[in-house]
C-alpha cells in the first residue's frame, strides 16, 4: 500500500509542542507519511524527530517581512518540496501560508491546502497596510486548492474582501485535548503544591495570562491592570506565560514587569509544559488579545 506523503508547514515550534501536537500524531496514526516543516527555535535546532515520532525539517520562515530572507526561504521550500515529492502540502498561519503555498505549487505538489488561523488585519493598522495584506492573501489563495478556517468570521471576511470564492473556503474549527483539562485531572493537592512552588500564599489571588509574547496579545494592558491592582494594595499575584517571538511586535515581560514596578507581584515563567497544573492553581485566567483566530487559552 502506497502511503500518502504530507507536509505540514508551520513557523512556530509551539505548533509541535501544543497547537498541532495531537493533530500531527493523529495523521501519523492514520497511516500518512507525515513530515513537519518548521522554523528553528529552542526546540527545533535542526532536522529532528520529536518524541512522538514526527519527522521535522528545519527551514527558517521569518515572521517579519524581509524580502531577501523571504526569497531564501521560498527557494529552500521549493527545493525541499521537489526533493520530497509530497502528495499534499498543508500550510498554517500567515507567513508559512504565503511562502508555503507558492513554493508547493512551484514544486508541482498535487494538492495544496491552507488553514487560516486569523488574518493579518487589525483595526489599528492604516488602510494602506490592510489593503496590502489583503492583496497578499488574494495572491497566495491562487496557489492552493482549498482554504480552511478556524472560525466563521474569517470565512465571511475572506469572501467579502474577495480573497477567495465561497466555494474555496470552509469551516474547520479548532479545539484542545479536553482530557488534559478535566476537573479531576489535577488533584487539589497538586494545585496547592503548584501555588506553594510559585510562592503564592493561601489568602492571595493568583491571576495568570498565557500567550505568545507579542503586543497583539495585550501584555501592555495586562501589566497596566496589574499595576493598578498592586497600587491599591490588593493581595494578588500575577503570572505571565508564553513563548518568545522573533517579531517587530515582540514584547519582553521581564522589561515590562520592571517598567511597571511589578517585581514583587508578577512572575514571568516563559514557555511551560505544565499548563493544566498552572491553570488549576490560578483563580483567574486572563486573555487580553486584540484578535484571535480562536482563543485556545479560553477553551
pLDDT score of 244 more than 80: no
Q: Which residue has the higher pLDDT, 244 or 127?
A: 127
CA separation (Å) from 58 to 12, 36, 37, 49, 97?
11, 8, 6, 11, 16
Three-state secondary structure call for residue 222: helix
**Confidence band, pLDDT 50/70/90 cuts, at residue 1:** low
* Length, in residues, of the chain: 299
Per the structure block, which three cell numbers stand in for 34? Answer: 507525515
How much is the pLDDT for 248? Answer: 64
Which are the contacts of 122, defined by CB distance < 8 A and separation ≥ 6? 130, 216, 290, 291
The share of the chain scoring above pLDDT 90, in percent, equals 64
C-alpha dihedral (189, 194, 197, 198), degrees to nearest 10: -140
Would the pLDDT of 122 be above 70?
Answer: no
Q: Report the pLDDT averaged over residues 258-271.
A: 94
- pLDDT band at 271; cut points 50, 70, 90: confident
Cβ contacts of residue 44 below 8 Å, gap of 6+? 13, 16, 38, 56, 58
Spatial separation of the C-alpha atoms in residues 184 and 295, rounded to whole Å: 23
pLDDT at 25: 87
**pLDDT band with cut points at 50, 70 and 90 for residue 42:** confident
Dihedral angle sign, alpha carbons of residues 217, 272, 18, 11: positive
**Mean of the per-residue pLDDT values for the chain?**
91
Q: Determine contact, residues 36/10, Cβ cutoff 8 Å.
A: yes
- How many Å is the Cα radius of gyration of the chain? 21
Residue from 167, 117, 140, 119 nearest 15 by CA: 117
Q: DSSP characters for 73-120?
A: HHHHHHHHHHHHT-SEEEEESHHHHHHHHHHHHHTT-SEEEEEES--S
**Which residue ranges form the domains of the chain, and what is each CATH number?**
5-171 (3.40.50.2000), 182-286 (3.40.50.2000)
Beta-sheet strand order (sheet of 266-270): 266-270, 236-241, 205-210, 284-286
* 212 pLDDT higher than 80: yes
Amino acid at each position: 500500500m502506497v502511503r500518502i506523503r504530507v507536509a505540514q508547514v508551520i513557523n512556530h515550534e509551539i505548533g509541535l509542542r501544543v497547537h498541532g501536537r495531537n493533530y500531527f500524531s493523529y495523521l501519523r496514526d492514520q497511516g500518512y507519511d507525515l513530515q513537519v516543516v518548521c522554523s528553528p527555535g529552542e526546540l527545533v535546532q535542526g532536522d529532528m524527530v520529536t518524541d512522538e515520532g514526527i519527522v521535522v525539517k528545519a527551514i527558517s520562515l521569518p515572521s517579519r517581512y524581509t524580502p531577501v530572507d523571504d526569497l531564501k526561504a521560498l527557494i529552500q521550500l521549493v527545493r525541499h518540496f521537489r526533493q520530497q515529492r509530497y502528495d499534499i502540502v498543508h500550510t498554517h498561519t500567515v507567513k508559512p501560508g504565503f511562502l508555503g503555498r507558492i513554493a508547493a505549487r512551484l514544486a508541482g505538489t498535487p494538492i495544496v491546502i491552507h488553514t487560516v488561523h486569523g488574518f493579518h488585519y487589525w483595526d489599528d493598522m492604516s488602510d494602506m497596510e490592510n489593503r496590502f495584506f489583503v492583496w497578499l492573501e488574494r495572491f497566495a489563495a491562487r496557489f492552493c486548492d482549498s482554504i480552511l478556517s478556524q472560525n466563521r468570521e474569517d470565512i465571511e471576511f475572506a469572501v467579502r474582501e474577495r480573497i477567495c470564492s465561497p466555494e474555496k473556503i470552509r469551516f474547520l474549527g479548532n479545539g484542545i485535548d479536553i482530557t488534559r483539562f478535566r476537573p479531576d485531572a489535577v488533584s487539589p493537592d497538586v494545585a496547592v503544591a503548584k501555588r506553594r512552588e510559585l510562592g503564592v500564599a493561601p489568602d492571595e489571588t493568583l491571576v495568570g495570562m498565557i500567550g505568545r509574547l507579542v503586543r497583539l496579545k495585550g501584555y501592555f494592558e495586562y501589566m497596566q491592570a496589574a499595576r493598578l491592582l498592586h497600587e491599591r494594595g490588593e493581595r494578588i499575584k500575577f503570572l505571565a506565560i508564553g513563548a518568545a517571538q522573533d517579531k517587530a511586535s515582540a514584547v519582553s515581560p521581564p522589561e515590562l514587569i520592571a517598567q511597571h514596578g511589578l517585581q514583587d507581584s508578577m512572575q514571568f515563567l516563559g514557555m511551560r509544559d505544565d499548563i493544566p497544573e498552572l491553570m488549576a492553581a490560578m483563580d483567574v485566567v486572563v486573555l487580553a488579545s486584540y484578535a484571535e483566530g480562536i482563543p485556545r487559552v479560553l477553551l
